[in-house]
Amino acid sequence: MKTLDIPNDGFAGLKQNWTNDAISGFLVFLLALPLSLGIAKASEFPPAMGVLTAMVGGLFVSFFAGSRLTIKGPAAGLITICAGAVTEMGGGTEGWKLALGVIVVAALIQVVFGALKFGSLSDFFPHSAVHGMLAAIGIIIFSKQIHVLLGIDPGTLKGKEPIELFEMIPNSIMHEDPRVTLLGIISLLIIFGLPLLKGKFFKKIPAPVIVLLVTIPLAWIMDFKHTEPAFDMVKIGNFWQNVGINADFSMIGTFIFWKYVIMFLFVNSLESLLTVKAIDGLDPWKRISNPNKDLMAVGAGNALSGLLGGLPMISEVARSSANINFGARTRWSNFFHGFFLLVAMLLFIPVIEMIPNTALAALLIAVGYRLASPNEFFKTYKIGSEQLVIFVVTIIVTVSTDLLLGVGAGIVMKFIFHVLNGVSFNNLFKAQYEVSHQENEFFIKVKGSAIFSNLIGFKKAFSKIDHSKKIVVDFSEAHLLDHSFMEYLHHLEEETEHAGGSVVSVGFDRFKPFSKHPLAARKFSADNVNKLEIKLSPRQLELRKFADKSEWTFFPQQVRSGIKYKDFPIQNGNKIPFEQNTLSTYSNAGKLEVSDIILQEGARQSQNEINITILQVSDTDTVIPDFALEPEGLWSKLFESISGKDIDFDNHPIFSKKYYLRGVNEKSVRDFFSDSIIQFLENREEMHIECHRSRLIFYKKRDLLEPSEILYISKFAEEFISLIQEKEIQTV
């Protein structure tokens, strides 16, 4: 566990954190190399140009970016635009160079947009339409890469629309190359099977690395280089000779040129800005990025990359999430990721050319699946059935036509729903509210509707308020709150709490939510005023029975966790937005609270939600040093430099082998863990224990606990606290 003092930025940050950032940068490099090659190849660019893009994103953009922990590089979300631009502009080398001209022009406009502070415009686009666009891109990626995985000549796929490519799948299966397909299937089994293995060790290793470690030797043993067609292997050629001024602007006066400028500008900027916001929520130090500065930096990187021959880059969500999980602390992790890519292109091109394209196709199929997985449909439906309609309409129109029309259709559908729900035309784009101030409290009365298209107005109002104060948001005169506004309100509550203030919402009982999701849209309902209805689930009924029997207080509703778990290691790189089913009681140990929490790992399409039952003990009246204790595994030693030094006890080898212990102040932690505490832990089942500011949390496993297990963990905590109290008495 590292100290949560905010890391220095700039060269002082390099001196302070270079070990953590270099390790994280290296691990992200292992993830980025195969993905960059695959994304470039699928985009009809020379494969190595994807690596060039990531190199520019790391070595150049990291110095100017407005975000600290995002990784800049090529993204799957831009594959269809890049491939479309190259194809419509003539294909081959000529089409590639003309597409580069488009990228450079779009990038320069992107820099201007950042300078004009257009970063907030990303809030205008409804999330369901954006997610629908990305899901459509995932489907389009799959429609082409499945043929590559089967060993089909990519030349036969050029110019085909997604629907045509899907129709060709049976024929491709009939004519597949068995040896190539075998490696592709092995790659898919690794990618989708690795996350199913238990243990943090397997979660730390990037699946693309394992794919390369397995498929490169197999391709060598099977002599792919001499027995398979050239299109089945990655071809780099003379990379450094091809790096130069490659952009061609000769089509700048055509409709096609500007059509793709708009598409690049729209998708690139939107994706990058949304990722920056999402990664801020995972930052252990809760630093707030400057979206406009980041947009300018990405634009400058895109201009340089496009000029030299590379793809457009964004703040890529999967690599950025991995960067945080690998222990990155500053922007230097992005720099190191670019540096290691540079070394690879200087020294290891012959090794890179041993990668079979079927392995890269498998990686891209996995990316496409993540974008359009059934879970994405289910998550959208949970927010509300109207969100699912917008999501599906966006997908259908995008796959059938293009990205801009697809997103446009989603936005139109969103407007239709809002008009049907009674939003007046003058309220569609104009936020209606009143702001007042009294001593240390600010009051904002929301009137009419708060929706995605007038959200910018509300953001401007809240930005002028001191977030270290109490903010009361009154919805007594509001009519409709959509999902975009609810999500913004959630982020506002988080930011305000971290600034030392609080947000209190008044009048929510007047609304009927469109679903049970805490961030679902909600509409005023006269029947809902002064009406409270709680329908308990089977688990909640079981917990209430346990509470009655054990004389605990039970509160089933889902509520924001606030700063309850702030700065605990469990939340480093993760988020705990909500908790529910809270059981509480007081004992000699202090206040015991057992809750089912939602732990969010990753962000956006890479986000994974885990339900964990956790016990927090507070009001202990004892001074306890900050520490984190967890069962030790193989991963502990391998990632000790990232997570913190393991504190071992020579006279307690069983404990030292059983547990991975770390803390900010090693001497205080050693003094705290007395012989009696260590012997207690040696003789009990393994437990995760974390302490921050003398508050303790306990959890037995990354899953929900049954009542019998809750009873065990509470008794475990009470005995643990009792030993601490006895130790203090003996010391006195």
Among 17-31, 39-53, 194-208, 590-604, name the one with the lowest average pLDDT.
Answer: 194-208
Mean residue pLDDT across the chain: 90
Q: What pLDDT is attached to residue 2?
A: 42
Q: How far apart are CA 732 and CA 54, in angstroms?
A: 59
Q: What is the pLDDT of residues 413-426, one digit of tens each?
A: 999 999 999 999 89
Residue with tokens 């997985």, as numbered in its chain = 373
Among 120-134, 497-511, 588-602, 623-637, name the one with the lowest average pLDDT.
Answer: 623-637
Q: Which residues contact 548 (CB under 8 A, 6 or more apart)?
A: 554
At 434, list the tokens: 């009143």
Q: How far apart are CA 519 and CA 494, in angstroms?
A: 14
Q: What pLDDT is attached to residue 635?
A: 56
**Helix/strand/coil percent split, the chain, to 5:** 60, 15, 25
Buried residues in 487-511 as b, exposed as e (16+ CB within 10 A): bbbbebbbbbbbeebbbeeebeebb
User: Per mean pLDDT, which of 191-200, 247-256, 643-652 is the most reliable?
Assistant: 247-256
pLDDT at 246 over 80: yes
Residue 530 DSSP label: T
511-513 and 441-450 beta bridge pairing: unpaired
Reduce the DSSP state of residue 612 to 3 states and report it. strand
Q: What is the pLDDT of residues 269-298, one digit of tens each?
A: 999 998 998 898 888 888 889 999 999 999
Q: What pLDDT is attached to residue 307?
A: 96
The answer to whether 642 and 327 are in contact (CB under 8 A) is yes
pLDDT at 682 over 50: yes
Q: How far apart are CA 328 and CA 506, in angstroms?
A: 39
pLDDT at 620 over 90: no
pLDDT at 393 over 60: yes
Residue with tokens 């609304």, as numbered in its chain = 511
Q: What pLDDT is attached to residue 525?
A: 84
In the chain, the domains with their CATH numbers are 10-405 (no CATH), 432-528 (3.30.750.24), 538-731 (no CATH)
Number of C-beta neighbours around residue 725 at 10 A: 15
Average of pLDDT values for 663-687?
92
Give the whole-number percent of the chain exceeding pLDDT 70.
95
Residue 618 DSSP label: E
Tell me, what amino acid is at 592?
L
Q: What pLDDT is attached to residue 14?
A: 94
At 512, list the tokens: 């009927």
Q: Is the dihedral of CA 79, 80, 83, 86 positive or negative?
A: negative
Annotate 93-140 with DSSP letters as a single string.
Answer: HHHHHHHHHHHHHHHHHHHHHHHTT-GGGGGGS-HHHHHHHHHHHHHH
